[in-house]
Structures are given as C-alpha cells and as structure tokens.
Structure 1
Amino acid sequence: MKRHSIQHLYLRAGFGISKSKLDNLASHSKAEVVEQLFANSRKLEPLKIDLSEFEEFLNSPKSEHPKPTPAEKQAFRKKSRQKIKELNNAWIDRLIDTDSVLGEKMTLFWSNVFVCKDKTVWHFQQYNNTLREHALGNLRTFVKAISKEPSMIKYLNNKQNVKDSPNENFARELMELFTLGEGNYTEEDIHNSARAFTGYSFRKDGSFRLIKKKHDEGIKTFMGKSGNFDGDDIIDIILEQKACARFICKKVYRYFVNDKIDEKHIDELTEFFYRHYDIKKLMHHIFISDWFYSPENIGVKIKSPIELLVGIQRSVDVKFEKPKQRIFIQKMMGQTLLDPPNVAGWKGGKNWIDSNTMMFRLKLASILLYHNEIELIAKGEFDDSFDDYYMENKKGKQKIKTLVNWNQFDNEFASLDLEGMQDQLINCEISPETKSFLSKLSVSNHRAYCVQLMSIPEYQLC
C-alpha cells in the first residue's frame, strides 16, 4: 500500500501515523493495513478517572443521607465539575496515547452524533464509555443503550416524560438528530413515540430503571404500526426505515470521507449498512473502497480543534504543567470535549475557521512547543467562568506552560531530510505560496522545521 494512502487512512481513522509505524506498514497490502487497524481496536478499555471521593454517596442508601444544605449542594456540584474537567483531559490523553486509534476516533465521532451534556461526572463517564463500548458495534443495540443512559435521560428531559403528560424532547431529537433527519417522521410520530419512552429513569449509580406507574401502557400508532410499544420497540421501527441507514451513512461520510456528499457512494453505503446495521462492517467497507483514496478525498477536510491538538501531541511529546490550560486551548478553538454547544453538536467543516480561530490554530504549534505568548479570546462556554483565567493576566495575554520532550521526535525524524519531514507531516498538495515560504526559511534543525510545518495552512487539513 502506498505511504500516501496509509497516511490518509490514519489521519481519517485516527490522528495521524508515526514514521516508524508507516515504515512498518508500507510493505503490506491495503487489506492487511486495514485489517490491522481494526485488530488494534478489537477491545477498547473503558476510560476511568478516580471517583473514589463519591463512593460513599453512591454506595449508601438514600435514607442514610441527611438532606444537604445549599452550601453542601454547591460544593458537591463544584467537585463534580472539576472532575468533568479531569475527564476531559483524561480523554485527550487517551486519544494521544492509544493503539486503538479507530475505536477512539469512532468514540469521538459518536459523541457528536448522540450529543449529550451532564454535570454529574459518574453519569457522564458512563455515557462516554457507552459510546466507546458500542462505537464499532451494532447500531440497534447502540441506540437502545443511549436511550437508557442517565446523562441522556437528564439532558433531553426524559425524566419529566410521564404517563398523561409526555415530554417530547427526547423523542423529537431521537428522530431529527440521532437517527432519521427532518422530513422522515410526523408530529404524530413524535407524540406517540414520546409516550413509549415514558417512565424512563435511573438509579443514582447509573443503572437504568423503568418506573412502571409512570409508563404509558396504552396503544400507540407509530410510522403506520400500532401496539403497546415501549422505547425499544420504537427504536426497532425507526431502524426498519431505510432513511435511518442513509442518515447515519451521510454523517459517517462527512466525518471520515468528505464534507461534500457523493450520492452514488451514499447509495452504496446505505444498501450495505441497512442489512445488519453493523458499524464495524460499514467502516471496513469504506476504508477498503478505492474511492476512499481518490485524490478528491485526500487533504480536503479541515481538522477539528481536537484533531489538530491531538495530532501535534502525538508527533511531539508535550505535557501541560497546568491541565486546565489545555481546556482553555480547546475553548479558544471552539471545541471543548464534554461541552457541546447544543444538542445538534458541532457543525464542523468550515465552521471551525474564523478570523480568530485561524490565527490561533496557525500559532498553536509555536505556543505549545516554543511557549509563545497568546491573546486569550475564548470561544464557547464551559461550566466554570473564564474570568479566573483572565485574572491571572489582566492584559489578556498568557503563556501556556508546557514540558516538551523532543527525544521521541528526534528518534523518529533523525534519518529524514527536510523534504522527508514535510512528506511525513503534511498529506496534501502544498500551495505555490507555501512552497515559496518554506524555501526561504533559514532552518537550522529538524525541530524548528517541524514547528514551521505545523504552522502552515496545509497542516490544518487532513
């Protein structure tokens, strides 16, 4: 398999590939390279942070807990918010240091499909691991599991969805944003499917609970079928619609192949996926297809902020002295993991770029690797105020404190000349303007050239 094609595969199915791994795979066939990619993600380890400080609360009966004071509630929530930030950093560390790149990339993808937000860290961690568990599994099982996640039940108000007073939020988003897309269901379908999800609740440890007295046992008519349907029945009927397979295939295609849809390829993928809703087989079908490696699909996608940040950290060993600063970097680029803007998630594509984020993205490598000063102009929100960060430097400028270990990089790139480095770090056509810029650089070593390559517009693409 050509090196260029392997790089393309690993940029889309992961976050790039090291020179040593690329050297190892270059003599293998496409089928062998793709098979190894999947083999490395056969078993995904759950992502877990230390939540021992909540164990007493989680393991003791409710009757043993005196009613907390407002101050105690506030302290508890603050503790949970801090742990969610820790989970954010743990997730990024996992993306940086994993051989299961496809499984983790799929987890990241699904987090922007089945979008969710929560302030209770142990529920949010459970939701994140449910994404990971089903990322390459069966869509039917996946959607049913997501519908029973405490974080999702809270986020889309399904705990308030009860017999005789249905709340339609979850039912609507299930069809509009998660499975079918607009135009493939009716308002009556929303109303009756909401009735099927009544009584959905959970225990404080995160296990699912159906409260029968709040569940509507009446006959519901949904998409032409009638019966005493529950939530799982509704999901089964949704997946009977070929529109569901097409909707998911379009999302997968835009994320892994090209923002510009090729309807012929979508038709092909829809027919394939509809048979069994096997996510692993769908992804294998894409990665083995010749059209995935066509020139029109290479180097045409804008890296998400997370892809950009993780890509740099996978190439050069960078540690943050203050983990919260990595959260601020995400915020400034417009994508903070575990903090989506709304239930529709991040739009992606050209929406990642504006005048502020573009300049910051181009400077990111020098900020991390050379400790260059930055203007703090944040995008988006997170649970805690950004004010504390501004107060550290009232002029709105700050240095990101990192520890850079160049040894891994030196070992990887020692045998390459500057042109070879360029081929390793950039996987798209370089414009004449950029070529002219690079040719005029007075670069004395590989490290300096690495930072320059990571600072050109072409490094923003994958």
Structure 2
Amino acid sequence: MASLNPLGSNLDLRKAKHLIRRATFKFTKEQLDTFVGMSATNAVNSLTTAAANTLAEPYDPLPIESPDGYWTLSTELPNSLDGQARKRAQVTAWWWHNAMQQTTLKHKLSFFLHTCFPVGKDDGVGAPTYFYDHINFLDFYAFGNLKTIAKKITLDNGMLDYLDNTQNNKNNPNENYAREYLELHTILKGKQIGPNNYTNYTELDIQQAAKVFSGFKKLADRSMIDPDTNIPMGYINIDQHDTSDKTFSSAFGNQIIIGRDTELGAFEELDDFVEMVFAQPETAKAYCRKLYRYFVKSDWTEEIETDIIEPLAQILIANEYEILPVVTTLLSSEHFYDADDSDATDNIIGSIIKSPLQILSEVCAMFELEYPDPSTNALLYYRNFFHNFIHNRYFPASGIEFYNPDSVAGYPAYYQEPGFDRNWFSSNTLIGRYKLIESLIEGKNTITSGDIYAQLDTVAFVKNKIANASDPNLLISEIADLLYPESIDTDRTNYFKSFLVDEGFPDYYWTGVWSQYLNTNEDVTVRTRLNALIIAMVNAAEFQLM
C-alpha cells in the first residue's frame, strides 16, 4: 500500500542521493556525507531554509568601455535599456549562480513555480526588468502560499504582458489570461463532458473570469511596489474594469461575484475569484499532481491517486495552500523512497530523466567546476561562460530554452502526456547533452566552437573525493556511487575500467600510473585516462536518470 508515513529508517547513500537530486540543484559529495545517517524528516527540514542570495542582482558587463552594471536599479523606462535580450539572459545567469551556491529546496521550488505559472522571457514577457521582477517574485514565494501566488501573479508586470491581460478592457475583453489561469495555472480542465464544458470549468467561467481581470494593467515605470514582496507590480485602471456582477457556472456552484466600481473593490473581486477557484478540491489535487510529477514520477496508478495524491491535497487544503507542508511530507515519506512495498527498486528511484538544467547543475556541483566568478569577473561569467556557452549553445542543443518555454503551457516534460520527462530525449537533443561534459573537460565549446573560460579538473576530483583511487575497480565503483541512482554491476565496472586499463593489461597497471602521479605530480597519463573515463560515465545511460 502506498504510504505517506515518514520513512522509518535513516538515509543510506542510495536514499540520500535520491533526496538531494530530486530536491536541489546543488548535488555534492559533502552534502551526501552529511545526509547519510540522518532521518529523512531531519534531512528534508534542513533543506527548507535558505540564506540570502550570493548575488543580490544581475550585472551587465557590456559595453566593455562603459558597462551598464546593475541595470535593474536604473530609473529609465525598462523598454529603453540597451541589450534587452542580453539582459534577460543575465537574469537567468544570476538565478543559476545563486542556485549553485546553496543546497536548498528554494531553487527547486522556485523553478517548480515557473512550471506552474510559465512565462517566456524572450516571447512576450517584455523588458528585462519585468522578467527580473517575475523571477524575484517566484523566488520570494518558493516556500510560500500557492493561493497568495495565484492572487499576486495577476499583478506581475511580466505576466500581464505575456498573457495579454494588460490589453483586457471592459469594452474589449481579452480572455487569454483568464483561459490559461484556469486551464494551466490553477484548477486545470478535467475531462470534457459537453460542448464548452471541461468538468472543472466552462467557457462561461472563462468569460466571467476575464471580466474579473479586466482593467489590471502593466505599470511601465515599475513605480508601484507590492508592500508584501517589495517587488514592482501592476495596477488597476478602474475605468477599464467591468463593474458588472460576474455569474459563474454550476462548476463553481453558480457563484456570483458582486461587481465593484472602486480600485479597492476590483482587488476584492480578484480575491473573491481566487478564493472561489481554490475552494474547489480539484485545485488542490491539480497542484499535488504537479508536485508529484515534478518530484517523484511522471505516471502513477489509481492506488497512488487514492493513497498519495488525495491525502496530499487534503494537507494542502488544511494548511491554506502553504506549499511546504505538502512537499516536506512527500519528500520524507516511505513512498518517496520506494519503501512502502516489498520491492524497493521498482518504482521511484531512478525513474525520472534529468532535465538539461539538472544535468548542468549536477555536473558543475559534483565536479566543482571552476567557472568565472560573477562577483569578480563579470564579463567572463555573464558573457563568455553563461551567455555564449550555457544559454546560447548548451541549453538549446540539449532541448530547453531556459526560462523561455515554447508555449504558454510550459516545457512538455512537465505537462505533455504520455512522454512527460522522456521529452527531454530526442535525436535532436542527445548531442547537446553528451557534449556538455566534453566541453567542460576541454574548456572549449565542442557543440560549436570557442573558449568557455571554465574547465573541469578530473584529476583533482579523483584525488580529493575518491578514497580508493589507486584501485581501478574501487575507483569506478566510488564514482558510480556518486553519479548514479543505483550501484553498477561487474560488467559495467569492467566496461568503464577499459578507459583506465588497456585490454590485456592487469589492474595494477592503473595502480602504478596513479602512484607515479602522486610521487611526481606528472599528470599527463592519469589526466588523459580520467578525462575519458568521466566523459564515458557522465554520458552513460545511468547518469541520465535520477
């Protein structure tokens, strides 16, 4: 029976790896060592705190002669800033660097919120400062309240632009935001049961919701600040707000939201609407299914729906849509560790294909990639390493436009059945995934060309992280235990050993080579062989899973 009971045993290496991969982007040996032996509950709770961001805000090192610098503080109108696309990319570089500095749930949940309330940074969100405000908003509420987010997202300048609500007026209604709010952001459709009737709402409800949202506008100069978040927000133009009563369908109990004709009244209408949507049990279930797909697995049985999804939805409702009680319950549970049935290897661990973001983050964290420090070498970090290589080459080649999904529904891996996370893999994305580790080891962009100004040191990794580096079998086993969800067998060990020891040579060949390196510090031979080994192990099928 699927169970949300807390895991009774302490975390072993296998379960600790599983938790850190699923809950964070920063996956390190040191964090593994910390978590092994801890209870799941204590380990998960330790991930629910986060210090202030290492980088307070993004920086533009261009133009070189006179950098734009901390452009988010500019008093110019956002759409007048130079290098708009470049600056939007710098926001993602800022976000990723901060995610790589802390082992915390915050950044995983912030990105989860992006999958729930997607915007495209280069496809409609507007000026880069609006996108920066949007990402700040998601970060602020990463440990927060889903209902609050669903209210305040309506006043997010980036969202107002992206889904056209800034054009939604009482005499010229625009239903884009209202439609996606119900279909994608909150309650979801359900099965269509009749013309214009999707079980959870109808076309009439979209029309009435658009009236509730009418008059909410982007504020171009970012001069209105949300008192709760201290983040710029949009405003209500009451002259363009539909002040009539809004009558919803039987899906919402034929509820009537009384129209108001003041700015305060328009906000009260918005509150009434959101409360109505979140009073429906299906809204809580929709979020819990998304959380399950994001953290656990893309498909599940009726048993999981009954024993996991529905109880999580009740926890969400009981906690007024606070996200942490649900997530901590799920990540601490027997079910999450596949410990609620007789076969602990058949369901959860290793069941998700890693996203390109997860691949990048794990490799950089585990191997302690030395990339340019944005605080001291902003040009090399923002322009050369992140923008030119990670943002413009690696991410597109591996199947993701970072923070720029190709539709309003977001990334197919999080919503498109039946493939879900299998959508990360295709004939078009394999080369990008497999070229990443090669590029990082060579310090060159092998996807196209050019210096990336960062280099992964395989010799230092093995010397500092692997206890039994002189024994090729133990060396491979220890690396596999760090990189893979499950241990590997003798056949796989022997395959990987071929990168260290030529066919026909005894194991002690590698022992001698490693010993010579330790005695002389001459690393040409060990580096050549370790580079080949790490490329093979990272590009192996086992590493693509978590």
Q: Partner letter of residue 326 of structure 1? A: I
Specify the alignment match of 1:48 in structure 2.
57
Q: Which residue of 1 aligns with 2:136?
A: 129
Find the aligned partners of 1:45 and 1:226 in 2 and give their Cα distance. 47
3-state DSSP of counterpart to 1:112: helix
What SS does the corresponding residue of 1:293 show, helix, strand or coil?
coil
1:293 aligns with 2:343: no
Task: Provide, for residues 159-178 of structure 1, a one-character-per-residue CA deviation record: whole Å limited to 9, x for no partner.
Answer: 11111221110000000001
* Corresponding residue number in structure 1 for 2:411: 346
Q: Distance in 1 between matches of 2:185 and 2:404?
A: 18
The residue that corresponds to 1:63 in the other structure is: none
How far apart are 1:452 and its partner, in Å? 2.7
Indicate the residue corresponding to 1:92 in structure 2: 96
* Structure 2: gaps spanning 5 or more residues: 1-10, 60-68, 190-197, 223-231, 260-268, 339-344, 373-379, 414-420, 469-473, 502-509, 511-525
Once the two structures are TM-superposed, the CA of residue 399 in structure 1 deviates from its matched residue by 4.5
Give 1:170's aligned residue.
177
Q: Secondary structure at the match of 2:117?
A: coil
The answer to whether structure 1 residue 103 and structure 2 residue 106 are counterparts is: yes
Is 1:249 aligned to 2:300, yes or no? no
Rounded to whole Å, the distance in 2 between the matches of 1:46 and 1:404 is: 22
Aligned 8 A contact 1:166 1:194 in 2: yes
- Report the Cα distance in structure 2 between the residues aligned to 1:400 and 1:352, rounded to whole angstroms: 26
Q: Taking structure 1 as reference, are residues 202 and 451 closer, same or farther at Cα in structure 2, changes over 3 Å only?
A: same
Moved more, 418-427 or 281-290: 418-427
Using the TM superposition, give the Cα deviation of residue 155 of structure 1 relative to its aligned residue in structure 2, in angstroms. 0.6
Change (3 A) 1:435 1:405: closer
The residue type equivalent to 1:112 in the other structure is: T
Equivalences for residues 71-220 of structure 1 within 5 A: 76=80, 78-99=82-103, 101-117=104-120, 118-182=125-189, 183=198, 184-203=200-219, 204-205=221-222, 206-220=232-246
Alignment of 1:266-415 (within 5 A): 266-275=309-318, 276-294=320-338, 295=345, 296-316=347-367, 317-319=369-371, 321=380, 322-323=384-385, 324-327=388-391, 328-348=393-413, 349-371=421-443, 374-375=446-447, 397-399=448-450, 401-404=452-455, 406=457, 409-410=461-462, 412-415=464-467
Give the Cα separation in 1 of the matches to 2:144 and 2:72: 31
Equivalent AA in structure 1 for residue 311 of structure 2:
E
Q: Give the Cα separation in 2 of the matches to 1:433 and 1:147.
A: 55
- 2:428 is paired with a residue of what secondary structure? helix
Between stretches 194-203 and 268-277, larger displacement belongs to 268-277
The two structures have a TM-score, normalised by structure 1, of 0.85
CA offset digits 1:414-442 (Å, max 9, x no partner): 42441112101111354787445224332
Q: TM-score, normalised by structure 2?
A: 0.73
- CA drift of 1:56 comes to 5.3
Distance 1:56 1:307, change over 3 A: closer
Q: Distance in 2 between matches of 1:121 and 1:145?
A: 19
AA partner of residue 297 (structure 2): N
- Write out the 4+ residue segments of structure 1 that deviate beyond 6 Å after TM superposition: 42-46
Deviation, 1:158, is: 0.4
Name the counterpart of 2:342: none
Instruction: Report if the CA contact (8 A) 2:58-2:72 is conserved.
Output: no
2:454 paired with 1:451: no
Q: Structure 1: how far apart are the matches of 2:397 and 2:236?
A: 41
| Max Rg structure | 2
8 A contact 2:395–2:432 mirrored in 1: no
> Cα gap change, 1:345/1:432 in structure 2, threshold over 3 Å: closer, same or farther?
farther
Matches of 2:243 and 2:335, distance apart in 1? 49
3-state SS of the aligned residue for 1:319? coil
Greater shift after overlay, 50-59 or 285-294? 50-59
The AA in structure 2 aligned to 1:239 is F
Q: CA deviation at 1:77?
A: 6.0
Deviation at 1:255, TM superposition (A): 0.8
Q: Distance in 1 between matches of 2:215 and 2:55?
A: 29
Judge which range, 439-448 or 348-357, deviates more: 439-448
Superposed CA deviations along residues 194-220 of structure 1, whole A, max 9, x for unmatched, are: 000111013221332111111111100
Which segment is superposed worse, 168-177 or 131-140? 131-140
Partner amino acid, structure 2, of 1:31: T
Kindly state the Cα deviation for residue 89 of structure 1 after the two structures are TM-superposed: 1.6
Q: What is the distance in 2 between the residues matched to 1:299 and 1:412?
A: 27
How far apart are the structure 2 equivalents of 1:210 and 1:284?
Answer: 37
1:11 — aligned with what? Answer: 21
Q: Percent identity?
A: 25
Identify if the C-alpha distance between structure 1 residues 159 and 408 changes in structure 2 by more than 3 Å, giving closer, same or farther: farther
Assess if the C-alpha contact under 8 Å between 2:144 and 2:323 holds in 1: yes
Write the distance in 1 (CA, Å) between the matches of 2:111 and 2:311. Answer: 25
Q: CA deviation at 1:59?
A: 8.0
Provide the C-alpha distance between the structure 1 equivalents of 2:81 and 2:70, rounded to a whole number of angstroms.
Answer: 15
- Give 1 or 2: higher strand fraction: 1
CA shift, 1:251, in A, is 0.8
Aligned residues of 1:115 and 1:340 also touching (Cα < 8 A)? yes
Q: Which residue of 2 aligns with 1:240?
A: 279
What is the letter of the counterpart of residue 236 of structure 1? E
Residue identity in the other structure for 2:399: G
- Displacement, 1:325? 1.3
In the alignment, which of 484, 501, 504 is matched to residue 426 of structure 1? Answer: 484
Deviations 1:273-311 (A, max 9, x none): 122211011101101110100131001100001111111
RMSD of Structure 2 on Structure 1 (CA): 2.5
Partners of 2:289 and 2:139 in 1: how far apart?
Answer: 21
The answer to whether the Cα contact below 8 Å between 1:44 and 1:133 also exists between their aligned partners in 2 is no
Mark the CA change 1:52 to 1:421 in structure 2 (over 3 Å): closer, same or farther: closer
Distance verdict in 2 for CA 1:227–1:412, change over 3 Å: same
Give distance in 2, aligned partners of 1:173 and 1:414.
50
SS at match of 1:284: helix
* Higher share in helix: 1
